[in-house]
A and B are shown apart, each in its own frame.
Chain A
Amino acid sequence: MQAQAQTGRLFRFTLKKEWLKILLWLIGAAFYVILGIFAFVEVYGDPSEREAMAIAMENPAMQALFGRLIGADDYTIGAMYSQTMSLIGYVIFAIMSILLVVRNTRSEEEDGILELIQALPTGRLAHTTSAIFILLLSNALLAVVSASVLLALGDRSITLEGAVLTGLSYATIGLIFGAVTLVTAQLSNNARGAMMLAFGVLGISYMMRIVGDSGYELLSWLSPLGLIYGTEAFVSNNWFPIWIGLALSLALIVTALWLKNRRDMGAGLLPDRAGKKHASSFLKTLFGFTFKLLKTPLIVWAVAMLLLGVSYGSVIGDVEGMLEGNEVVAQIIATDPSLNLTDQFIGVILGVLAMAATIPSLQVMLKLRGEEKKHRMEKVIASAHSRLTVFSTFILLSTLVALVFQLLQSLAFGGSAVAVGYDVSLTDIITAGLGYVPAILLMIGVAAILIGWFPKLTSLIWLYHFFVFVVFYFGGLFDIPEVINGLSPFYHIPEQPIESWNWTVTLVLTALALLFMAIGSIGYRKRDID
């Protein structure tokens, strides 16, 4: 086993440099599970409330958002937890594993660290294999942590088998997407590409499951997310998705190792295109240059948002069909039009889409800090551009991204809803989508303050965004105190079409966002550039 020489030593070393990150991820994961199970036990202790929730969840639109309704006839805490917490959890844990694998494989190869390691008497596969061990270890710990939390905080419906299965389903998802990343790390010759490809697979899996759960069931089973969702822990406790998932991971890992053993250091299997010889006149402007830095991820995001919008839009027609067959729900709607589930759904989806569109906007803003950390910003600032100009250019671009992406996705969402024959006004949906722009601007403003005054804490913006998402996503399920809700800018945006446009909110949020941006720019002009 020459190819594996020194794997053990490299693994111990990798552990030494990774343990803190893994620990923080695990704490985050534990927190996620605790929050979910604790809140369900507290809020939905009463069976009648759970029954009401089950009826609401029968709405195909809600199922598209959360996951297929399971255990409807006996909607226990366990069933509720499995239905509403699984998919988001899967996505979070998949991201954790994707980042972990890229960080420990292609990133180090791209930086030339692997070259130094492999010039030592270490096997050709030792570095990748130690990353695989780290992946296995962190996901095993994830399984143990989540199963233990569930057992400790759950009620009677949280069985031992279900808890173990839930933990294993999280670990399996981590393994599958970690293994996918191991393969994409062989395909692309740079870390960003490897990560983008893996996130692409995750995105496609998510959309396949949206469409699958609204009727084309096969699509759900073909998506790793849909497959593992099929474990239905605490309801039917299916084990076979776990076995399939583990087998799939194993196959992917073997493929990745096989590719790694054959290929040249630094090479990828996907071809590199030749670049342009000269800078265009657009690229020579500061705005053009900034745009160029972010062009590829922005295009990828735009495609992803369009697909997400279309996926959600296309299932909207099914809501109508469901309402026809369900007298109880029809009755509820008849007595109170504000409870129109479809309109509610539109409001929720637009909010989710807006939060997704916030990510690329923030990415643009954070690029300013990312470039600085790589000591590339000094070249721009040392040239004829003032710091204020540079800062404003990034603000401008991220604001534009917010506007354009909101427009694009509401168009995709509304357009496909109209295309499948649902009776909704496209202009209303676009207006509703644009209504979220001030909230996104506020997020950009917070990022601007962090970059300007607390550059080392810049990534806290993601934590804030995650918080905003949690408040929004689970706001409908739990009673979150007003004070906490209010901390999220999205909470203040009226949920059109149920609620109507509110100029006060629009203007106040926009003004606040501009103020934050200005404060950030003052800090940026005064502080040292790394």
Chain B
Amino acid sequence: MKKVIEITKLKKTFGKTEALTDVTFDVNEGEIVGFIGPNGAGKSTTIRILLGLIKADSGTAKIFGEDVWDDAVSIHKRVAYVPGDVNLWPNLTGGQVIDLFLSMRGAKVDKKRKEELMKRFEFDPTKKCRAYSKGNRQKVALIAAFAADADVYLFDEPTAGLDPLQERVFQSYAREVQQRGASVLLSSHILSEVEQLCDKVAIIRQGEIVESGSLTDLRHLTRSQINLKTAEELPNLEEQSFAHNVVREKDEIVFQLDSDHLNDFLNYIEPFTVLKLESAPPRLEDLFMRHYETVKGGD
């Protein structure tokens, strides 16, 4: 697959704060990549470097094989961006701003698509921007982005302020651009959104990518929850290497099972009479939470 975004060993410091220490990951053609991590981990900094808005201290970042700082203008012809906090000129209408943004691309505006987007997002383009709520300002940027025929979409918490229905509209458009071969980098705190939408995720923590890969791969790193009931007493389950956090409640046992030791568990349970065996699939949220929580614990 063709790499569209290539980020290698990005570093960036603001004064004394190290915002990025080592950020490396790729986005391929036609992929939706989820970019997640706690507040202040460096998501926005990375995206702003990709946009050539700020300059990395070291490392390289390329889009379409071109340098994001030096070739910003030619890259931006094929890139659409939506930040999480959209501010607009208070005395212009939403419709005017959308047209302005599209005209800056130099391409002819597909009026039908613009109208369709406004309808789907239930957006009134005739109001002045000062009268828009946060969600509506967000829609201005989203409509302008999706109406553009871009090859790369950079989204920095794009659905902040949208209601759940419009969040779905966003997701369906994101899938649509993916189907025509565009790539999407989606930074988000809404983990369910990332789980539904993304083929790959990159998890950033304190300026460093700590995990990246396809969701299926990452699932192996996590554990399933097992609810187990057997006729006999289960001896020394606690001592098994695959079992974690074993809790015995009445006659039921609940524990966490390493996903890649499923077979060991089946071998272990084989001699017993199993009355009930429920397995909850590994939730992505658990995986993410692990990374969020280590930060809170102060490492």
A interface list, Cβ under 8 A from B: 2, 5-6, 9, 13, 17, 111-113, 115-124, 264-267, 271-272
Given contacts A120-B76, A265-B48, A267-B54, 6 further A-B contacts (CB under 8 A): A2-B74, A9-B103, A118-B53, A124-B52, A265-B54, A266-B53
Instruction: Write out the residue numbers on chain A whose beta carbons fall within 8 Å of the beta carbon of B72.
Output: 2, 118, 124
Closest CB pairs A-B (n = 6): A264-B54, A119-B81, A265-B53, A121-B76, A120-B104, A111-B87
Instruction: Write out the residue numbers on chain A whose beta carbons fall within 8 Å of the beta carbon of B101.
Output: 116, 120
Given A116-B141, A267-B54, A271-B15: A121 and B86 within 8 A (CB)?
no
Listed A/B pairs (19) with beta-carbon separation below 8 Å: A2-B72, A2-B74, A111-B87, A112-B85, A113-B88, A116-B141, A119-B53, A119-B76, A120-B101, A121-B74, A121-B106, A124-B52, A124-B72, A264-B53, A264-B54, A264-B55, A267-B14, A267-B54, A272-B15
Tell me if A112 and B83 are in contact (CB < 8 A): yes
Provide the B5-37 mask, 1 if CB < 8 A to any CB of A, else 0: 000000000110000000000000000000000
The chain A residue with its CB closest to the CB of B72 is A124
Instruction: Write out the residue numbers on chain B whose beta carbons fall within 8 Å of the beta carbon of A2.
Output: 71-74
Tell me if B104 and A6 are in contact (CB < 8 A): yes
What is the bound-complex CA distance between A2 and B68, given in angstroms?
13
Interface residues on B, range: 20 to 34
Tell me if B89 and A121 are in contact (CB < 8 A): no
User: Does B244 make an interface contact (CB < 8 A)?
Assistant: no
Instruction: Write out the residue numbers on chain A whose beta carbons fall within 8 Å of the beta carbon of B104.
Output: 6, 9, 117, 120-122
- From residue A369, how far is it (CB to closest CB) to chain B in Å? 15
- From residue A190, how far is it (CB to closest CB) to chain B in Å? 14
What is the bound-complex CA distance between A359 and B89, given in angstroms?
28
User: Does B100 make an interface contact (CB < 8 A)?
Assistant: yes
The chain B residue with its CB closest to the CB of A271 is B15
Instruction: Write out the residue numbers on chain B whose beta carbons fall within 8 Å of the beta carbon of A13.
Output: 100
The chain B residue with its CB closest to the CB of A20 is B91
User: Does B209 make an interface contact (CB < 8 A)?
Assistant: no
The chain B residue with its CB closest to the CB of A2 is B73
Select B89's contact among A113, A115, A123, A124, beta carbons within 8 Å: A113
What is the bound-complex CA distance between A115 and B91, given in angstroms?
18
- From residue A113, how far is it (CB to closest CB) to chain B in Å? 6
Tell me if A112 and B15 are in contact (CB < 8 A): no
Instruction: Write out the residue numbers on chain A whose beta carbons fall within 8 Å of the beta carbon of B71.
Output: 2
What is the bound-complex CA distance between A150 and B283, given in angstroms?
78
What is the bound-complex CA distance between A17 and B92, given in angstroms?
8
User: Does B189 make an interface contact (CB < 8 A)?
Assistant: no
The chain B residue with its CB closest to the CB of A6 is B104
Instruction: Write out the residue numbers on chain A whose beta carbons fall within 8 Å of the beta carbon of B52.
Output: 118, 124
What is the bound-complex CA distance between A9 and B102, given in angstroms?
12
- From residue B66, how far is it (CB to closest CB) to chain A in Å? 11
What is the bound-complex CA distance between A118 and B81, given in angstroms?
10
Select A115's contact among B73, B77, B79, B83, beta carbons within 8 Å: B83
User: Does B105 make an interface contact (CB < 8 A)?
Assistant: yes
Tell me if B73 and A112 are in contact (CB < 8 A): no
In B52-78, the 8 Å CB interface with A consists of 52-55, 71-74, 76-77
Tell me if B86 and A116 are in contact (CB < 8 A): yes
What is the bound-complex CA distance between A118 and B79, given in angstroms?
11
Instruction: Write out the residue numbers on chain B whose beta carbons fall within 8 Å of the beta carbon of A6.
Output: 104
What is the bound-complex CA distance between A9 and B100, given in angstroms?
9
- From residue A275, how far is it (CB to closest CB) to chain B in Å? 14
- From residue B121, how far is it (CB to closest CB) to chain A in Å? 17
User: Does B51 make an interface contact (CB < 8 A)?
Assistant: yes
Tell me if B73 and A5 are in contact (CB < 8 A): yes
Instruction: Write out the residue numbers on chain B whose beta carbons fall within 8 Å of the beta carbon of A267.
Output: 14, 54
Tell me if A17 and B81 are in contact (CB < 8 A): no
What is the bound-complex CA distance between A113 and B83, given in angstroms?
10
What is the bound-complex CA distance between A284 and B263, given in angstroms?
62
What is the bound-complex CA distance between A68 and B89, given in angstroms?
44
Instruction: Write out the residue numbers on chain B whose beta carbons fall within 8 Å of the beta carbon of A17.
Output: 89, 91-92
Tell me if B86 and A112 are in contact (CB < 8 A): yes
What is the bound-complex CA distance between A121 and B105, given in angstroms?
6
In B101-115, the 8 Å CB interface with A consists of 101, 103-106
Given A113-B87, A264-B55, A272-B15: A120 and B141 within 8 A (CB)?
no
- From residue B13, how far is it (CB to closest CB) to chain A in Å? 11
The chain B residue with its CB closest to the CB of A265 is B53
Given A2-B73, A13-B100: A115 and B53 within 8 A (CB)?
yes
Instruction: Write out the residue numbers on chain A whose beta carbons fall within 8 Å of the beta carbon of B141.
Output: 116
- From residue A269, how far is it (CB to closest CB) to chain B in Å? 12
The chain A residue with its CB closest to the CB of B145 is A119
- From residue B100, how far is it (CB to closest CB) to chain A in Å? 6
What is the bound-complex CA distance between A116 and B55, given in angstroms?
17
Of A111, A118, A121, A266, most buried by chain B (CB within 10 Å of CB) is A121
Instruction: Write out the residue numbers on chain A whose beta carbons fall within 8 Å of the beta carbon of B89.
Output: 17, 113
What is the bound-complex CA distance between A118 and B76, given in angstroms?
9
Instruction: Write out the residue numbers on chain A whose beta carbons fall within 8 Å of the beta carbon of B105.
Output: 120-121
Instruction: Write out the residue numbers on chain A whose beta carbons fall within 8 Å of the beta carbon of B73.
Output: 2, 5, 121-123
Instruction: Write out the residue numbers on chain B whose beta carbons fall within 8 Å of the beta carbon of A116.
Output: 81, 83, 86, 101, 141
Instruction: Write out the residue numbers on chain B whose beta carbons fall within 8 Å of the beta carbon of A271.
Output: 15
The chain A residue with its CB closest to the CB of B97 is A116
Tell me if B79 and A119 are in contact (CB < 8 A): yes
The chain B residue with its CB closest to the CB of A5 is B73
Instruction: Write out the residue numbers on chain A whose beta carbons fall within 8 Å of the beta carbon of B154.
Output: 119
What is the bound-complex CA distance between A115 and B45, given in angstroms?
13
Provide the B124-142 mask, 1 if CB < 8 A to any CB of A, else 0: 0000000000000000010
Of A112, A120, A266, A271, most buried by chain B (CB within 10 Å of CB) is A120
What is the bound-complex CA distance between A485 and B111, given in angstroms?
60
Instruction: Write out the residue numbers on chain B whose beta carbons fall within 8 Å of the beta carbon of A265.
Output: 48, 53-54
Select B87's contact among A112, A120, A124, beta carbons within 8 Å: A112
The chain B residue with its CB closest to the CB of A126 is B73
Instruction: Write out the residue numbers on chain B whose beta carbons fall within 8 Å of the beta carbon of A121.
Output: 73-74, 76-77, 104-106
Instruction: Write out the residue numbers on chain B whose beta carbons fall within 8 Å of the beta carbon of A264.
Output: 53-55
What is the bound-complex CA distance between A266 and B19, given in angstroms?
15
What is the bound-complex CA distance between A5 and B75, given in angstroms?
12
What is the bound-complex CA distance between A111 and B87, given in angstroms?
6
Instruction: Write out the residue numbers on chain A whose beta carbons fall within 8 Å of the beta carbon of B15.
Output: 271-272
What is the bound-complex CA distance between A120 and B53, given in angstroms?
11
The chain A residue with its CB closest to the CB of B91 is A17
- From residue A133, how far is it (CB to closest CB) to chain B in Å? 17
- From residue B261, how far is it (CB to closest CB) to chain A in Å? 46
What is the bound-complex CA distance between A296 and B152, given in angstroms?
44
The chain B residue with its CB closest to the CB of A272 is B15
Instruction: Write out the residue numbers on chain B whose beta carbons fall within 8 Å of the beta carbon of A117.
Output: 104
What is the bound-complex CA distance between A13 and B15, given in angstroms?
35
Instruction: Write out the residue numbers on chain B whose beta carbons fall within 8 Å of the beta carbon of A5.
Output: 73
What is the bound-complex CA distance between A17 and B93, given in angstroms?
12
What is the bound-complex CA distance between A6 and B85, given in angstroms?
24
What is the bound-complex CA distance between A119 and B72, given in angstroms?
8
What is the bound-complex CA distance between A132 and B226, given in angstroms?
67
What is the bound-complex CA distance between A66 and B190, given in angstroms?
64
The chain B residue with its CB closest to the CB of A112 is B87
- From residue B299, how far is it (CB to closest CB) to chain A in Å? 21
Instruction: Write out the residue numbers on chain A whose beta carbons fall within 8 Å of the beta carbon of B77.
Output: 121
Instruction: Write out the residue numbers on chain A whose beta carbons fall within 8 Å of the beta carbon of B76.
Output: 119-122
The chain B residue with its CB closest to the CB of A10 is B104
